[in-house]
Structure 1
Amino acid sequence: MSVPPVPTSSVPPPPEAKAPASQQPAATAPSPEMEQTLASLTSHRSVLGYMLLSRGHPVTIIRHSGVVFEGEQGKKYAHMIGRVVDSVQGGLEEVSGDSGDTDEVRFMRIRTKRHELMISPDGRFLLAVLHDPTS
Protein backbone atom coordinates (compact mmCIF):
# COMPACT_ATOMS: atom_id res chain seq x y z
CA MET A 1 0.00 0.00 0.00
CA SER A 2 1.46 3.33 -1.02
CA VAL A 3 0.77 6.75 0.40
CA PRO A 4 -0.24 9.37 -2.17
CA PRO A 5 2.25 12.22 -2.53
CA VAL A 6 1.50 15.45 -0.72
CA PRO A 7 1.12 18.30 -3.21
CA THR A 8 3.53 21.17 -2.76
CA SER A 9 3.06 24.70 -3.92
CA SER A 10 5.35 27.65 -4.39
CA VAL A 11 2.39 30.00 -3.94
CA PRO A 12 2.56 31.72 -0.54
CA PRO A 13 -0.45 31.34 1.75
CA PRO A 14 -2.98 34.19 1.75
CA PRO A 15 -2.23 37.06 4.19
CA GLU A 16 -5.03 36.04 6.53
CA ALA A 17 -3.34 32.67 7.02
CA LYS A 18 -0.29 34.48 8.43
CA ALA A 19 -2.28 36.66 10.81
CA PRO A 20 -1.59 36.20 14.51
CA ALA A 21 -4.20 34.35 16.53
CA SER A 22 -4.95 37.52 18.51
CA GLN A 23 -6.39 39.28 15.47
CA GLN A 24 -10.05 39.02 14.58
CA PRO A 25 -11.04 36.14 12.29
CA ALA A 26 -12.40 36.91 8.85
CA ALA A 27 -15.85 35.67 9.95
CA THR A 28 -16.20 38.69 12.25
CA ALA A 29 -14.53 41.26 9.99
CA PRO A 30 -16.83 44.18 9.22
CA SER A 31 -18.10 44.52 5.66
CA PRO A 32 -17.05 47.48 3.47
CA GLU A 33 -20.47 49.03 4.12
CA MET A 34 -19.87 48.78 7.87
CA GLU A 35 -16.40 50.31 7.45
CA GLN A 36 -17.96 53.25 5.59
CA THR A 37 -20.63 53.66 8.28
CA LEU A 38 -18.01 53.69 11.04
CA ALA A 39 -15.95 56.30 9.20
CA SER A 40 -19.05 58.43 8.71
CA LEU A 41 -19.97 58.19 12.40
CA THR A 42 -16.62 59.50 13.56
CA SER A 43 -17.00 62.60 11.40
CA HIS A 44 -19.99 63.91 13.38
CA ARG A 45 -18.92 66.41 16.03
CA SER A 46 -21.50 65.23 18.58
CA VAL A 47 -20.24 61.63 18.48
CA LEU A 48 -18.04 60.84 21.48
CA GLY A 49 -17.25 57.32 20.32
CA TYR A 50 -18.54 54.03 19.00
CA MET A 51 -18.09 50.37 19.78
CA LEU A 52 -18.47 47.48 17.38
CA LEU A 53 -19.06 44.36 19.45
CA SER A 54 -19.37 40.67 18.69
CA ARG A 55 -22.75 39.14 19.36
CA GLY A 56 -21.35 36.15 21.30
CA HIS A 57 -21.15 35.36 24.98
CA PRO A 58 -19.19 37.04 26.34
CA VAL A 59 -19.52 40.13 24.17
CA THR A 60 -16.11 41.13 22.81
CA ILE A 61 -14.93 44.45 21.44
CA ILE A 62 -14.06 44.16 17.76
CA ARG A 63 -13.33 47.84 17.27
CA HIS A 64 -13.88 51.10 19.10
CA SER A 65 -13.27 54.80 18.76
CA GLY A 66 -13.23 57.50 21.40
CA VAL A 67 -11.49 57.78 24.76
CA VAL A 68 -14.70 56.98 26.63
CA PHE A 69 -14.44 53.39 25.33
CA GLU A 70 -10.73 52.89 26.17
CA GLY A 71 -9.45 50.26 28.61
CA GLU A 72 -11.55 49.00 31.50
CA GLN A 73 -14.27 51.60 30.91
CA GLY A 74 -14.71 50.21 27.39
CA LYS A 75 -15.02 46.67 28.74
CA LYS A 76 -17.67 47.84 31.21
CA TYR A 77 -19.64 49.55 28.43
CA ALA A 78 -19.37 46.44 26.22
CA HIS A 79 -20.64 44.16 28.99
CA MET A 80 -23.49 46.55 29.83
CA ILE A 81 -24.55 46.93 26.19
CA GLY A 82 -24.66 43.14 25.75
CA ARG A 83 -26.74 42.75 28.91
CA VAL A 84 -29.19 45.50 27.91
CA VAL A 85 -29.78 44.01 24.44
CA ASP A 86 -30.17 40.48 25.86
CA SER A 87 -32.56 41.73 28.53
CA VAL A 88 -34.77 43.62 26.09
CA GLN A 89 -34.80 40.69 23.65
CA GLY A 90 -35.68 38.33 26.51
CA GLY A 91 -38.53 40.64 27.52
CA LEU A 92 -39.88 40.61 23.97
CA GLU A 93 -39.76 36.81 23.93
CA GLU A 94 -41.53 36.68 27.29
CA VAL A 95 -44.29 39.01 26.10
CA SER A 96 -44.88 37.00 22.93
CA GLY A 97 -45.30 33.83 25.00
CA ASP A 98 -46.03 30.69 23.05
CA SER A 99 -47.39 32.49 20.01
CA GLY A 100 -44.17 31.77 18.10
CA ASP A 101 -44.25 35.29 16.65
CA THR A 102 -41.33 36.76 18.61
CA ASP A 103 -40.34 40.31 17.77
CA GLU A 104 -36.68 41.32 17.67
CA VAL A 105 -34.74 44.40 18.74
CA ARG A 106 -33.67 46.54 15.77
CA PHE A 107 -32.61 49.84 17.36
CA MET A 108 -32.50 51.28 20.86
CA ARG A 109 -31.87 54.77 22.24
CA ILE A 110 -30.98 55.34 25.86
CA ARG A 111 -30.86 58.97 26.91
CA THR A 112 -29.29 60.15 30.15
CA LYS A 113 -28.73 63.65 31.53
CA ARG A 114 -25.40 63.95 29.72
CA HIS A 115 -25.35 61.49 26.83
CA GLU A 116 -27.37 59.38 24.46
CA LEU A 117 -26.41 55.79 23.68
CA MET A 118 -27.76 54.37 20.44
CA ILE A 119 -27.55 50.61 19.95
CA SER A 120 -28.16 48.78 16.69
CA PRO A 121 -27.96 44.98 17.00
CA ASP A 122 -27.91 42.52 14.13
CA GLY A 123 -27.16 38.82 13.85
CA ARG A 124 -23.36 39.16 14.09
CA PHE A 125 -22.64 42.55 15.65
CA LEU A 126 -23.80 45.14 18.15
CA LEU A 127 -23.04 48.71 17.12
CA ALA A 128 -23.20 51.25 19.93
CA VAL A 129 -22.70 54.98 19.44
CA LEU A 130 -22.35 57.45 22.30
CA HIS A 131 -23.02 61.08 21.56
CA ASP A 132 -23.63 64.38 23.27
CA PRO A 133 -27.16 65.46 22.31
CA THR A 134 -26.51 69.06 23.42
CA SER A 135 -23.80 69.72 20.83
Structure 2
Amino acid sequence: MSAISNEMDEKFQELASTKTVRGVLILNNDGAPIKTSLEPKATESYANMLHEIVSLARKLFLENDPNNDLTFVRFRLKKHEIMVAPDKQYYLVVIHHPQE
Protein backbone atom coordinates (compact mmCIF):
# COMPACT_ATOMS: atom_id res chain seq x y z
CA MET A 1 0.00 0.00 0.00
CA SER A 2 1.18 3.51 -0.85
CA ALA A 3 1.83 6.16 1.74
CA ILE A 4 -0.65 8.99 2.15
CA SER A 5 -0.04 12.49 3.47
CA ASN A 6 -0.65 13.43 7.09
CA GLU A 7 -3.41 15.76 5.92
CA MET A 8 -5.16 12.94 4.07
CA ASP A 9 -4.74 10.61 7.05
CA GLU A 10 -6.27 13.22 9.37
CA LYS A 11 -9.23 13.69 7.02
CA PHE A 12 -9.65 9.90 6.84
CA GLN A 13 -9.75 9.65 10.65
CA GLU A 14 -12.17 12.57 10.93
CA LEU A 15 -14.56 11.06 8.38
CA ALA A 16 -14.30 7.53 9.77
CA SER A 17 -15.22 8.75 13.25
CA THR A 18 -18.34 10.58 12.09
CA LYS A 19 -21.48 8.92 13.49
CA THR A 20 -23.35 8.52 10.20
CA VAL A 21 -20.34 7.33 8.19
CA ARG A 22 -20.25 3.56 7.73
CA GLY A 23 -16.99 3.37 5.84
CA VAL A 24 -14.13 5.35 4.34
CA LEU A 25 -11.73 4.14 1.67
CA ILE A 26 -8.74 5.68 0.00
CA LEU A 27 -7.98 3.99 -3.32
CA ASN A 28 -5.15 4.59 -5.73
CA ASN A 29 -6.00 5.34 -9.36
CA ASP A 30 -5.80 1.62 -10.16
CA GLY A 31 -8.56 0.95 -7.60
CA ALA A 32 -6.28 -0.71 -5.04
CA PRO A 33 -7.15 0.13 -1.42
CA ILE A 34 -4.53 2.21 0.36
CA LYS A 35 -6.49 2.72 3.57
CA THR A 36 -9.91 1.52 4.68
CA SER A 37 -12.20 1.40 7.68
CA LEU A 38 -14.20 -1.49 6.22
CA GLU A 39 -13.79 -5.23 6.50
CA PRO A 40 -11.63 -6.81 3.75
CA LYS A 41 -14.52 -8.33 1.76
CA ALA A 42 -16.51 -5.06 1.75
CA THR A 43 -13.36 -3.11 0.91
CA GLU A 44 -12.67 -5.29 -2.11
CA SER A 45 -16.28 -5.10 -3.30
CA TYR A 46 -16.58 -1.31 -3.01
CA ALA A 47 -13.08 -0.72 -4.43
CA ASN A 48 -13.74 -2.82 -7.54
CA MET A 49 -17.21 -1.42 -8.16
CA LEU A 50 -16.35 2.24 -7.62
CA HIS A 51 -13.09 2.12 -9.53
CA GLU A 52 -14.89 0.70 -12.56
CA ILE A 53 -17.78 3.19 -12.43
CA VAL A 54 -15.68 6.29 -11.74
CA SER A 55 -12.98 5.38 -14.28
CA LEU A 56 -15.58 4.90 -17.01
CA ALA A 57 -17.40 8.13 -16.13
CA ARG A 58 -14.13 10.03 -16.05
CA LYS A 59 -13.09 8.61 -19.42
CA LEU A 60 -16.44 9.50 -21.03
CA PHE A 61 -16.43 13.07 -19.74
CA LEU A 62 -12.80 13.65 -20.75
CA GLU A 63 -13.48 12.30 -24.25
CA ASN A 64 -16.30 14.81 -24.57
CA ASP A 65 -14.29 17.71 -23.13
CA PRO A 66 -10.59 17.16 -22.25
CA ASN A 67 -10.62 20.26 -20.02
CA ASN A 68 -13.52 19.11 -17.83
CA ASP A 69 -12.42 16.32 -15.48
CA LEU A 70 -14.68 14.61 -12.96
CA THR A 71 -14.24 16.01 -9.43
CA PHE A 72 -17.04 14.48 -7.36
CA VAL A 73 -19.66 11.73 -7.70
CA ARG A 74 -22.55 11.00 -5.35
CA PHE A 75 -24.66 7.87 -5.52
CA ARG A 76 -27.90 7.98 -3.54
CA LEU A 77 -29.16 4.47 -2.83
CA LYS A 78 -32.10 3.21 -0.77
CA LYS A 79 -29.94 2.24 2.21
CA HIS A 80 -27.11 4.75 2.00
CA GLU A 81 -25.18 7.12 -0.19
CA ILE A 82 -21.69 6.80 -1.55
CA MET A 83 -19.58 9.85 -2.26
CA VAL A 84 -16.41 9.65 -4.32
CA ALA A 85 -13.86 12.44 -4.75
CA PRO A 86 -11.36 11.36 -7.39
CA ASP A 87 -8.04 13.20 -7.49
CA LYS A 88 -4.92 12.80 -9.63
CA GLN A 89 -3.46 10.05 -7.41
CA TYR A 90 -6.30 8.85 -5.17
CA TYR A 91 -10.03 8.32 -4.81
CA LEU A 92 -11.57 9.25 -1.47
CA VAL A 93 -14.74 7.21 -0.88
CA VAL A 94 -17.24 7.81 1.92
CA ILE A 95 -20.19 5.50 2.59
CA HIS A 96 -22.80 7.38 4.55
CA HIS A 97 -26.19 6.62 6.13
CA PRO A 98 -27.87 10.05 5.97
CA GLN A 99 -31.13 9.01 7.66
CA GLU A 100 -29.44 8.21 10.96
The question of a shared fold, defined as TM-score above 0.5 by the shorter chain, is answered with yes
Structure 1's unaligned 5+ residue stretches are 1-23
Q: Deviations over 1:23-74 (max 9, x none)?
A: x3xxx31111101101110221000011111112xx2111100xxx312232
Structure 2's unaligned 5+ residue stretches are none
Query: How far, CA to CA, are the matches of 2:46 and 2:13 in structure 1?
Result: 21
Out of 56, 63, 72, which is 1:94 matched to?
63
1:54-133 matched pairs, under 5 angstroms: 54-56=28-30, 59-65=31-37, 69-96=38-65, 101-133=66-98
What is the identity percentage for the equivalent residue pairs of Structure 1 and Structure 2?
A: 30
Instruction: Work out whether residues 52 and 61 of structure 1, in 8 Å CA contact, stay in contact via their aligned partners in 2.
Output: yes
Query: How far, CA to CA, are the matches of 2:60 and 2:80 in structure 1?
Result: 25
Structure 1 position 95, deviation (Å): 2.1
**Structure 2 residue aligned with 1:5:** none
Q: Deviations over 1:85-128 (max 9, x none)?
A: 111111202322xxxx4311111110001100000111111110
**Structure 2 residue aligned with 1:6:** none
RMSD: 1.3
- Structure possessing the higher relative contact order (Cα contacts under 8 Å, 6 or more residues apart): 2
**TM-score under structure 1 length normalisation:** 0.69
Give 4+ residue runs of structure 1 displaced > 3 Å after superposition: none
Query: How far, CA to CA, are the matches of 2:9 and 2:85 in structure 1?
Result: 15
Instruction: Work out whether residues 92 and 102 of structure 1, in 8 Å CA contact, stay in contact via their aligned partners in 2.
Output: no
Supply the AA of the counterpart residue of 1:110: F
Give aligned pairs, total: 100
The structure that has the greater radius of gyration is 1
